[in-house]
Structure 1
Amino acid sequence: MNNIALSRWTMSYFVTSLAAFAIAQALMVLGYGFPQAAAAAPATLALVHIVALGWLSLLLCGALFQFVPVLTAHPLHSNSLPLPTLCCLIAGTLALVCGFLQLAGDIHTGPPCFVFAAVLLAAGFGLVLWNLGRTLWAARPLSVPARFVAAGLACLLAVLALGIVFALVLGGALTYGPALRLVHAGLAVHIAAGLGGWLTFTAMGVSYRLLAMFMLAPELDGRGTRLGLALGCGALAVAIVGGVAAIGMGVRTSRVLLIAGALALACLVFYGKDMVHLYRARKRRKIELNSKMAMLAQASLAAAVVLFLLSLALGRLGQLLPALVYLLAFGWLSGLGLAKLYKIVPFLTWLECYGPVLGKKPTPRVQDLVTEQGARKWFLLYFAAVWLGSAILLAGFAPLFRISAAAALFASGGIAFHLLRARLLLDVKPELRLPDGVRKPNILYSFSPKASLR
């Protein structure tokens, strides 16, 4: 592969997203938002957006700025835009949370936070779309993983458009009749575009490339993979375009979303088959901890699919939806994010520190930057806590949920501690840690302008 520049600010995205993740989990431990409050309460909406924007979206953006060039073998369009992008996204997320606090009456005076949030998030995600979109456009024709990412970015555009309308209506700046109807009936479409399209579909595309790269497995580009991509794109198009059209015509969106759900399930079947093939076809016989934990995240996705089918069969989708969303957000997306971070952080740190002296000085391996035995218990505790929390939500034992949330917070803190140790090279043997020509890495940004990502 061609040399690809390390994204200077990717680590800042990771640090900021982990901080937001900790804040969200701490709020759940304190009983803020669902299940102590209603699912549609402003407190719950604030919590949901801390997770969706502050944690998952920032994490995904940071990873994409680094790995879209790897997916496309083409340099990022602009290495200077990620920092102002991050500033806009942080400020926009804070403004949105403050808007929900105003809606709840917790903040009685102040500026029109929803309007500010709409402007800032439009600027931030607009820069994301411009930077990554230009990179993908210049790298045509795209590989299958890159096409997943391109579809996910299209969903991000839809989420952004819907979110701006929602924010302006909630802030009282937009009173146009069709916009009011969209806010009243479009929440399911917003969730499908955000959770199903931008976050899940993009994560699927990235996982195709990262799992193949880190397990030394062959790239997948067969008929089944392409059919899964087509089914997923079809599901998202039906859910978003069809859903908005149904709202505009004044009809219910349930049938549209049911068709989209069927297509999405078929897509996930092909995705699951591909993931099994990657693990079986790998050349690296010993599976590293990050890949093992990715399997648990994918098991959470499979469990969410089963739960969705059961809820439909029992006619209890509305009752079981909170547990389903929690399992998707914390078991699948957050679990996969934490698992991949455990490889990405030491991998990028190794490239930054030891890439320039590789072949000139004795250097550690990437695996030497981490201690898998010490980190394993934190991952197992995290997934056990999330699965327990999902079971508690299913059973309706809301007071016990805070215990599972506390365990998940404790476990994710342990994982973050191991990520910090890897970034600071604390687990590298002293004689190999800092040979001549190696700079100690900074926590928030990367020094090295170029390194080979193979």
Structure 2
Amino acid sequence: MIGASISRWTMSYFAAALAWLFVALALMVVGIGYPAADILSPDTLVLVHAVSIGWLSLAMCGALFQFVPVLVARPLFSEKWALPALGLLTAGLIFMLGGFLSLGGRVPPALWLLPLGAALLVGGIGLVVVDLGLTACLRPTGPARFVLVGLASLCATAAFGAVFAFALAGCAGSVGDLLLANGIPLHAIAGLGGWLTLTAMGVSYRLLAMFMLAPDTDDRQSRQTLAAGALAVAVTVAGGALAIGLAAGLYIVLSVAGILGLASAGLYGRDIAGIFSNRKRRQLELNMRMATLSFASLAGTALLGIALVSVGAFATHVGAFTFLAVFGWLSGLVLAKLYKIVAFLTWLETYGPVMGRAATPRVQDLAAEGRATKWFVIYYVAVWVGTVTLMVGEPNALRMAAAAMAVGVAGIVHEIIRIRRLADVASPLRLPGGAVVPHLLFARH
């Protein structure tokens, strides 16, 4: 990474993503969406898309614009597309949420917002997929393969979502209505399982090895992990669409996909254990210690899913399962990595140009890990408590857990801003000659 170019708009994506996370947590605190409303209600759709698109997808895109070029040792296909993509994604999400609110009667009728929002989102996703896809395919090895499969899953997710949006607006015909009635699990699995989880797996391979000074995962092992995950998504999308068309066999398709998904998660756990055991940096930094809690949440999600299916209660408690997967595994990992990525990129931007010409601090000197630890602990404990409240059917307790999650996230964001402002770097190392404080929302260089 030393000497690598810095994505100008990665910080903008992170800031927008964190803003949407606060929006989602605020909705949960005031009781909008599941479990106060039905899991397929318009209010829940607002909450789900604020999290999945606004928070997780924007954060993932920001990270990929920075790290895909690192994975393939090639420059990004077009740096100029990142900002227009962010604008389209943000506008599309706002219009789509407005359509959901209209559908639920919270704002005046305006169902045309749904297809408009879907069109803008497809445009933004198209820019992201083409830009990152053309970059990753230059050297499709190792983690880059996960990114390519994740981008393919994102395309499938966007296609299903666009059809659903037009169907809700009454513009998709009988085929669209059929998909809307039966295809929501396919949309969710392609998005959460394919786009977000497989992409997070791929990026984590490189980040964990880089930050812990560990050798890269054996290519044969990572191929096995990817094959199981990619096959799970393929079975879900292709097999699920065929089953819906034939009006039979969807449960079997989803069961097979679930088994493949569990296999991929198990193989991923094996790979991550290998990275930890072979690391040269024995003392784990905060981001790595917190990432282990995310991996524990992923394992907990898998075990919870197995237990619920074995007793025939998965449909009843799918909300708790999804909550732990989204906020324990994915969101927890993203927050842990954001903390380190922001420090790393801030160090590169500030001190990279003066390396060798002046004394500079270490990357870890930009962060106050002791002070930040409590915010991560508050967040994870609140997520686990929230999962339990959903299992036992206590919506008011969930609102309290969401408030605690918001407190933890606010503390983490405060620490990230301090990192970006170099607030914890002591003089005279803070700003050696030629170095300047980076802009909060974008890279100056």
Taking structure 1 as the reference length, the TM-score comes to 0.96
Corresponding position of 1:339? 336
Corresponding position of 2:158? 160
Q: Percent identity?
A: 49
Structure 1 segment 300-319 matched on structure 2, within 5 A? 300-319=297-316
Q: Is the 8 A contact 2:7 2:79 kept in 1?
A: yes
Q: Is the 8 A contact 1:45 1:100 kept in 2?
A: yes
Q: Is the 8 A contact 2:3 2:352 kept in 1?
A: no
CA shift at 1:186, angstroms? 0.1
Per-residue CA deviations over 1:25-60 (Å, capped at 9, x if unaligned) read 011111111111111110011010000000000000
Once the two structures are overlaid, the 10-residue window that deviates more, 1-10 or 217-226, is: 1-10
From 289, 298, 305, the counterpart of 1:292: 289
AA paired with 2:131? N
Q: Distance in 2 between matches of 1:160 and 1:144?
A: 25
Q: Is the 8 A contact 1:323 1:391 kept in 2?
A: yes
Tell me which stretches of 4 or more aligned residues in structure 1 moved more than 6 Å.
Answer: none
**SS of 2:214 mapped into structure 1:** coil
**SS of 1:432 mapped into structure 2:** coil
CA shift at 1:17, angstroms? 0.3
Q: Is the 8 A contact 2:360 2:429 kept in 1?
A: yes
AA paired with 1:342? Y
CA shift at 1:2, angstroms? 8.3
Indicate whether 1:36 and 2:31 are aligned: no
Q: Is the 8 A contact 1:165 1:179 kept in 2?
A: yes
Q: Is the 8 A contact 2:99 2:111 kept in 1?
A: no
Q: Distance in 1 between matches of 2:332 and 2:396?
A: 24
Corresponding position of 1:416? 413
Greater relative contact order, per chain length (Cα 8 Å cut-off, separation 6+): 1
Corresponding position of 2:53? 53
AA paired with 2:284? I
Q: Is the 8 A contact 2:142 2:219 kept in 1?
A: no
CA shift at 1:222, angstroms? 3.9
Q: Distance in 2 between matches of 1:188 and 1:336?
A: 24
Q: Distance in 2 between matches of 1:230 and 1:171?
A: 37
CA shift at 1:3, angstroms? 4.3
Structure 1: state its 5+ residue gaps.
449-454
Indicate whether 1:112 and 2:112 are aligned: yes
Corresponding position of 1:172? 170
CA shift at 1:221, angstroms? 2.5
Q: Distance in 1 between matches of 2:96 and 2:256?
A: 32
From 201, 204, 208, the counterpart of 2:201: 204
CA shift at 1:431, angstroms? 1.4
Indicate whether 1:14 and 2:11 are aligned: no
CA shift at 1:240, angstroms? 1.0
Corresponding position of 2:90? 90
AA paired with 1:159? T
**SS of 1:430 mapped into structure 2:** coil
CA shift at 1:225, angstroms? 2.2
Q: Distance in 2 between matches of 1:101 and 1:223?
A: 47
CA shift at 1:436, angstroms? 1.4
Q: Distance in 2 between matches of 1:157 and 1:131?
A: 13
**SS of 2:317 mapped into structure 1:** helix
Indicate whether 1:248 and 2:235 are aligned: no
Corresponding position of 1:392? 389
Q: Distance in 2 between matches of 1:109 and 1:228?
A: 46
Q: Distance in 1 between matches of 2:60 and 2:2?
A: 23
AA paired with 1:11? M
Corresponding position of 1:404? 401
Q: Is the 8 A contact 1:4 1:74 kept in 2?
A: no
Q: Distance in 1 between matches of 2:427 and 2:47?
A: 42
Q: Distance in 2 between matches of 1:227 and 1:119?
A: 36
Indicate whether 1:356 and 2:353 are aligned: yes
AA paired with 2:6? L
Q: Distance in 2 between matches of 1:116 and 1:3?
A: 41
Per-residue CA deviations over 1:96-147 (Å, capped at 9, x if unaligned) read 100100100111144710021111001100000110111122x23x222111
Once the two structures are overlaid, the 10-residue window that deviates more, 86-95 or 33-42, is: 33-42
Q: Distance in 2 between matches of 1:213 and 1:420?
A: 23
AA paired with 1:151? V
Q: Distance in 1 between matches of 2:49 and 2:3?
A: 36
Corresponding position of 1:444? 441
Q: Distance in 1 between matches of 2:426 and 2:405?
A: 31
Q: Distance in 1 between matches of 2:410 and 2:250?
A: 40
From 429, 432, 441, the counterpart of 2:429: 432
CA shift at 1:447, angstroms? 1.2
Once the two structures are overlaid, the 10-residue window that deviates more, 165-174 or 48-57, is: 165-174
AA paired with 2:178? R
CA shift at 1:224, angstroms? 2.5
Corresponding position of 1:133? 133
Q: How many residues align?
A: 445
AA paired with 2:335? L
Q: Distance in 2 between matches of 1:336 and 1:136?
A: 22
Q: Distance in 2 between matches of 1:252 and 1:106?
A: 37
Taking structure 2 as the reference length, the TM-score comes to 0.98
From 232, 251, 254, the counterpart of 1:257: 254
From 257, 275, 279, the counterpart of 1:278: 275
**SS of 2:227 mapped into structure 1:** helix
Structure 2: state its 5+ residue gaps.
none
Indicate whether 1:69 and 2:61 are aligned: no
Per-residue CA deviations over 1:158-179 (Å, capped at 9, x if unaligned) read 00100110011112222x2122
Indicate whether 1:149 and 2:140 are aligned: no
Q: Distance in 2 between matches of 1:430 and 1:326?
A: 44
CA shift at 1:200, angstroms? 0.6
Q: Is the 8 A contact 1:2 1:73 kept in 2?
A: no
**SS of 2:135 mapped into structure 1:** helix
Q: Is the 8 A contact 1:297 1:332 kept in 2?
A: yes
